[in-house]
Amino acid sequence: MEPKASVKNLIPYVPGKPIEELERELGIQGVAKMASNENPLGPSPLAKKALREHVSKVNLYPDGGCFELKRKLSEKLGVPEDTLIIGNGSNEVIEIVARTFLEPGDEAIYGRHAFIVYPIVTQALGCSHVVSEMPDLTHNLEDMLSLVTEKTKIIYIANPNNPTGTIVRRDEFEWFLKRVPENVIILVDEAYFEYVDDPEYPDTLRYHSARESLVTVRTFSKIYGLAGLRVGYGVASAEAVSYMDRVREPFNVNSAAQAAACAALDDESHVARSRELNREGKEFFREKLAELEVGYIESHANFFLVDLGKDPVPVYEALLRDGVITRPVGGYGLKTHLRVSFGLAQENERFIESLRRILRR
Mean pLDDT rounded to a whole number for the chain: 94
Confidence label for 30 from pLDDT (cuts 50, 70 and 90): confident
Among 250, 266, 282, residue at a domain's last position? 266
Amino acid sitting at position 204 = T
The gap from C-alpha 268 to its chain's centroid, in whole angstroms, comes to 21
Who wins on pLDDT, 169 or 16? 169
Q: What is the pLDDT of residues 210-237, one digit of tens each?
A: 999 999 999 999 999 999 999 999 999 9
Average pLDDT over residues 78-86: 98
Average pLDDT over residues 251-280: 98
Count other C-beta atoms under 10 Å from residue 77's C-beta: 17
Examine the domain organization and report whether 127 and 187 are in the same domain: yes
Confidence label for 248 from pLDDT (cuts 50, 70 and 90): very high
Q: Does residue 10 sit within a domain? A: no
Amino acid sitting at position 253 = V
DSSP symbol at 334: -
Residue range(s) defining the domain that contains residue 177: 45-266
Specify the pLDDT at position 91.
Answer: 96
Q: What is the pLDDT of residues 202-214, one digit of tens each?
A: 999 999 999 999 9
Phi, psi of 17, deg, nearest 5: -65, 130
Examine the domain organization and report whether 140 and 30 are in the same domain: no
Percent of the chain at pLDDT exceeding 70:
94
Q: Does residue 7 sit within a domain? A: no
Q: What is the pLDDT of residues 83-103, one digit of tens each?
A: 999 999 999 999 999 999 999
Q: Which helix (H) or strand (E) holds 347?
A: helix 345-360
Examine the domain organization and report whether 83 and 229 are in the same domain: yes
Burial category of 198 from C-beta neighbours within 10 Å (exposed 0-12, middle 13-18, buried 19 and up): exposed
3-state secondary structure of 193: helix
Examine the domain organization and report whether 178 and 294 are in the same domain: no
Q: Which residues pair with 328 in a beta bridge?
A: 338
Q: What is the pLDDT of residues 276-312, one digit of tens each?
A: 999 999 999 999 999 999 999 999 999 999 999 999 9
Average pLDDT over residues 330-341: 94
Peptide bond before residue 163 is cis, with ω within 30 degrees of 0: yes
Q: Which helix (H) or strand (E) holds 34?
A: none
Distance, CA of 311 to CA of 334 (rounded, Å): 10
Average pLDDT over residues 188-194: 97
Q: Structure pTM?
A: 0.93
Examine the domain organization and report whether 72 and 217 are in the same domain: yes
Confidence label for 26 from pLDDT (cuts 50, 70 and 90): low
Contact of 340 with 34, CB cutoff 8 Å? yes
Examine the domain organization and report whether 243 and 261 are in the same domain: yes
Distance, CA of 76 to CA of 52 (rounded, Å): 24
Examine the domain organization and report whether 91 and 213 are in the same domain: yes
Count other C-beta atoms under 10 Å from residue 147's C-beta: 14
Count other C-beta atoms under 10 Å from residue 133's C-beta: 13
Average pLDDT over residues 104-121: 95
Among the listed ranges 93-97, 109-113, 121-125, 172-176, which one has the minimum average pLDDT value? Answer: 121-125
Q: How many domains does the chain have?
A: 2
Examine the domain organization and report whether 56 and 23 are in the same domain: no
Burial state string for 27-36 with b = 16 or more CB within 10 A and e = fewer than 16: eeeebbbbbb
Specify the pLDDT at position 1.
Answer: 74
3-state secondary structure of 154: strand
- Helical spans, DSSP H, in the chain: 5-8, 19-26, 45-54, 67-77, 90-101, 117-124, 141-146, 170-179, 238-247, 255-266, 268-292, 313-321, 345-360
Confidence label for 20 from pLDDT (cuts 50, 70 and 90): confident
Examine the domain organization and report whether 255 and 273 are in the same domain: no
Examine the domain organization and report whether 283 and 340 are in the same domain: yes
* Confidence check: pLDDT of 22 > 90: no
Among 234, 266, 298, residue at a domain's last position? 266
CATH for 309: 3.90.1150.10
Q: What is the pLDDT of residues 164-179, one digit of tens each?
A: 999 999 999 999 999 9
Specify the pLDDT at position 24.
Answer: 76
Among 251, 266, 281, residue at a domain's last position? 266
Examine the domain organization and report whether 30 and 175 are in the same domain: no
Q: What share of the chain is helix, strand, coil (3-state, %, to 5)?
A: 45, 15, 40
Examine the domain organization and report whether 140 and 252 are in the same domain: yes
